[in-house]
Chains A and B, each alone.
Chain A
């Protein structure tokens, strides 16, 4: 698996966009970028994933640079309930073993 680097923590004002960066400079051509988040000690929750095109769903947008060496998860209007640890992972979809989660970014949304 390609290694990812994320800032350990970030703050965001409620109602503003939260932009969470992730560096994955050693990503391979067949590896996808996945984002998950974990609220308190709940099970991690899938947010979004992409290969090289930008992706958007009801939760977030994922912007992947043209060289695929970095990406940004965007929460367009952050709420207090978005306070969580966000994990960026790169992985081949159908690889045998499962994803390994690193330290992630602790996002604090403030009123």
Chain B
């Protein structure tokens, strides 16, 4: 089954404690991206990757890092989380020919 898998789905952490949200897709997609969703603000893009070892900033990259060492994985790294990074995070990959986006189920992060 074609899918995008994120982990963890839920996490409560404290300010400054580094964390990583993993994302993996099994569709051999070149394009992957991270979004955050906050009430009233829709989905905002954090980082995206057009292929292995190629990453670019989206609309709200501050406080986040990403890496793309292999095609299937695109982890989101919060080096020093702060309460304003409390949000619902989605990873997505994109089918090359149609442009269709496939989203993960989301990771709800709370930073205290």
Contact = CB atoms under 8 A, between A and B. Distances in A.
Nearest to B50: A96
A62 to B, nearest CB: 14
A86 interface: no
A99 B94 CA distance: 10
Contacts, number: 63
If over half of B's interface residues share one DSSP class (helix, strand or loop), that class is named, otherwise mixed; here it is strand
A43 interface: yes
Interface in B62-103: 88, 90, 92, 94, 96-103
B56 A96 contact: yes
Contact of B88 (A41, A46, A97): A41
Which of the four size classes fits the interface of chain A?
20 to 34
Contact of A101 (B43, B88, B96, B108): B43
B90 A43 contact: yes
Residue of B56, B59, B90 with most partner-chain A CB within 10 A: B90
Nearest to B103: A43
B33 interface: yes
Contacts of B56: 96-97
Interface in A56-111: 91, 93-94, 96-104
Contact of A100 (B4, B45, B97, B108): B45
A102 B42 contact: yes
Contacts of A96: 48, 50, 56
Contact of B42 (A91, A94, A98, A101): A101
Interface of A: 32, 34, 36, 41-46, 49, 91, 93-94, 96-104
13 contacts: A43-B4, A43-B105, A44-B90, A46-B101, A93-B99, A96-B48, A96-B50, A97-B56, A98-B33, A98-B45, A98-B92, A100-B45, A101-B35
